[in-house]
Structure 1
Amino acid sequence: MTRIDRRALFTSGAAAALLAATGTALADTPRVGGILRLAVPRDGRLMEQVARGAVFDTLTEIGADGLLRSELASNWSSSPDARIWQFDLRSDVSFHSRQPLSAEDVVASLSDSGFRDMYSAQIDVRTLNSIRISLGSSNPHLPYLLADGRFAICAKGEAKVDLAMANGTGCYRVERARAGRDFRATRVSNHYKTGQAGWVDTVELIVIPDAAVRAEALRDGYVDVAALPAPDGLVTRGSFHYHPSATDMALAARMDVGMPRTIGRRSALDDGRITERWWRL
């Protein structure tokens, strides 16, 4: 695997950086089960990001430790000039509809996402489980770029716009999605990431417009994680994890929320995979 520096775009396990803010060493081994409830503001950006990160996968991802790794792609290679790329796909992946992942799904998804125009690319099915990407110009960073949530893979011909109808390959299947209100998804059994991600049984996102009410919901145990701009006296310092700090806060979490010991050092809100990387102690 390749260590990421400034090219560690889009995802980095950064919401797990709550751990770094507290300096607390939490359990290395996640516990499977439980519910993770996240309170978010009404603007929809965080809710959409976290929900889609739970439901959809990309060809590659940036792990919680900041390393590039495969996701739907099992491996990849390029021509010497980094213009022609081949990505081989995992053979053990199915959509939530139980339809097996195929190269046609990947080609259709990347084409619909705007990737083709963005990089002057030609995307072709090479075999049932591999694709070829021919770029308009050399780009050695392509595997990093494909970790962007914009390039999530869905079943061919199915739009990714309506979250309530989302058919992805992620750890969580949508149970309920109401724009501006809430989102609920349940863990997929026998998922290809079982034992590596998707620890909690259920993920719930709840829209609470007022930051003070979100803080109160966290304090009183109605939610486990909250997007907060400041502690504002409702959250007792020392009883919660704060990120980046209690005086410059983006997120706060209960002490019984576990997270990876080794983390990337990026913004708390740039990681749509927080539902995979957090667990209940």
Structure 2
Amino acid sequence: MTRLDRRALFASGAAAALLAATGLSAQAGPRAGGTLRVAVPREGDVLGLIARRAVFETLTEIGPDGALRGELASAWDSDADARVWHFDLREDVRFHDGSPLRAADVSASLARLPRLASAQELSPRRLRLAMTQPVPDLPLLLAKDHFLIAPNGQFGATLADAVGTGCYRVTSARDGRQFRAVRVADHHRTGRAGWAEAVEIIVIPDAAVRAEALCDGFVGATVLPQADAIRARGEYRCHPSADDMQIAFSSQVGAPERIGPTTSLGDLRIAERWWLAET
């Protein structure tokens, strides 16, 4: 039904390409406001991938420019062998239930981190991770969506129960069907991420119907639409190309202009990094 393997797209570095957009020279940059609506297929749990990145955060992140930077971590260092790591946590972070982020939340969330020998909370905002062998790329590894941070490591049985520190707080969700979240006021990344006032993700199994939803203005972006239907209805931005349309979006939607060429994000951070060019 499609020219690319969905599992490879959404579980590998190919997902990073969906964060890069072309033809945005007319846009001044991100702007706040509006509701960002995205149509996605059922396969590959695309809804869950986008939603979890809206709700949860990781210790580190790879920015749209491809640079590694802190997300929940404010600083980190290791011993000479890269076997013992220390991470300092931001002081201005709270979960959506109002509780402050603590090192204990991080250690519980990272219980399944590969090659982890032990996790020790040195203080409420300082964590020591001892590895079974040298892991020089640990900060890069911790940017992946396998290592999201939740209160006491509890991610909730369903998306509706999800409580994180991300830019968006869940207001309604049905796993595999729909998701809606609103922007968290005074979030620690305000002005750098989380542009839309609200984010809605709708599962539409049929590629032709997803294309129709975009062309009719029901959604601002759609993943894996029927390409011929998009081409027949007018000019829409797409990536990576019009011939290989993995994602299409209208002129009312803005996205990061570029991303590091060697970066592998392994996630879809549309909710926090895309915006409404017109609100």
Shift in Å, 1:256: 1.4
- 5 Å-filtered alignment, 1:176-195, equals 176-195=172-191
Residues 1:16 and 2:19 aligned together? yes
- Per-residue deviation, residues 36-90 of structure 1 (Å, max 9, x unmatched): 1000112252111000000000000000011100000000000011111000000
Task: Report the residue type matching 1:110 in the other structure.
Answer: L
Matched residue, 2:76:
76
Which residue of 1 is the match for residue 7 of structure 2? none
TM-score by length of 1: 0.88
Q: Percent sequence identity over matched residues? A: 50
Residues 87, 11 of structure 1: CA spacing in aligned structure 2 closer, same or farther, 3 A cutoff?
A: farther
Please list the CA deviations of residues 140-180 of structure 1 after superposition, one character each: whole Å capped at 9, or x if unmatched: 10000000111100001523442110010000000111022
> Residue 164 of structure 2: SS of its match in structure 1?
coil
> Counterparts of 2:262 and 2:208 in 1: how far apart (Å)?
25
- CA RMSD, Structure 1 to Structure 2 (Å): 2.1
1:153 paired to 2:149: yes
Structure 1, unmatched stretches of 5+, are 1-8
> Comparing 129-138 with 9-18, which one deviates more in the overlay?
9-18
What count of residue pairs does the alignment treat as equivalent?
A: 266
Match of 2:164 among 168, 181, 184: 168
Change (3 A) 1:237 1:17: farther
Residues 254/267 of structure 1: CA separation in 2 closer, same or farther (3 Å cut): farther
Change (3 A) 1:265 1:274: farther
Counterpart in 2 of 1:129?
125
2:98 alignment counterpart: 98
TM-score normalised by structure 2 residue count: 0.89
Query: Is the 8 Å Cα contact of residues 195 and 275 (structure 2) preserved in structure 1?
Result: yes
Corresponding residue of 1:3: none
The aligned counterpart of 2:222 is: 226
* SS of equivalent to 2:127: strand
**One-letter amino acid of the counterpart of residue 185, structure 2:** S
Label 1:269 to 1:176 Cα distance change in 2 as closer, same or farther (>3 A). Answer: farther
Structure 2 unaligned blocks of 5 or more? 1-11
- 1:207-236 CA distance string (max 9 Å, x none): 111000000110010000001254123444
C-alpha distance in structure 2 between counterparts of 1:74 and 1:268, whole Å: 22
For each residue in 1:160-202, what CA deviation from the matched residue of structure 2 results, as whole angstroms up to 9, or x when unmatched?
A: 4421100100000001110221100000000000010000001
Distance (Å, rounded) in 1 between the aligned partners of 2:97 and 2:61: 23
